[in-house]
Amino acid sequence: MSQRSGTPFSKRLFDLTLTIIGGAVISPFILLLALLVRIYHGAPVLFRHTRPGYKGRPFTLYKFRTMSNAKDESGQPLPDAERLTKFGKFLRSTSLDELPELYNVLRGEMSLVGPRPLLMQYLERYSPEQARRHDVLPGITGWAQVNGRNNVSWEDKFALDVWYVDNWSLWLDIKTLAKTLLKVVVREGINEPGNATAREFMGTQGESS
């Protein structure tokens, strides 16, 4: 049963207020990061990728690039773990690579807090219950991220996402943002053990096999 407290309007107002005020304060820092990404990784500075948003509708997500354009002798990109630079690892471990997503929040494509936008191909792999994670806007951070991030199974992450959908409130968003700052400070649960990023979700059957 849903235990929501608040309205989409109040959530949107909360997002815009924090994003506009916070973005203005840290804008010089964001520009500095953009310059450093240009120096270490070259152009383009931003990583753009199509992700599913509210109700699965696609949008373009923006992040700072964390990988180089290194290729093998045949001209194919090297594996992610080999293209991820030291500076890129720093951006990921501090979640600073996520800062350009504030633009997605301003555009109304994302919220500060919500289920993380994953890959388009996952849409057909979700169970009906897991697909409910798209009943709210995706977030820069989320309840799953502050309760394990990449150190919990996909099924557990999606269960946490659906719990958030059913129980979100402004207080829960504030609590999630506070816990996110703590996670960033201690750099906990950034990558799945043995992988540069989380392994691909292959569906519920793939999870249990």
pLDDT band at 74 (very low <50, low <70, confident <90, very high): confident
The whole-angstrom separation of Cα 31 and Cα 40 is 14
Mean pLDDT in residue range 27-38: 97
For 52-69, what is each residue's pLDDT tens digit? 999 999 999 999 999 988
- The β-bridge partners of 77 are 71
pLDDT at 2: 60
- Structure-token match 């400070």, residue found: 185
pTM for the whole structure: 0.88
6-15, 65-74, 134-143, 161-170, range with the lowest pLDDT: 65-74
- Per the CB < 8 A criterion, the answer to whether 46 and 91 are in contact is no
Phi, psi of 47, rounded to the nearest 5 degrees: -95, 125
- Per the CB < 8 A criterion, the answer to whether 84 and 196 are in contact is yes
Phi, psi of 114, rounded to the nearest 5 degrees: 170, 175
| Tokens encoding 186 | 């201690």
- Per the CB < 8 A criterion, the answer to whether 65 and 96 are in contact is no
- Per the CB < 8 A criterion, the answer to whether 137 and 168 are in contact is no
pLDDT band at 204 (very low <50, low <70, confident <90, very high): confident
Mean pLDDT in residue range 161-180: 95
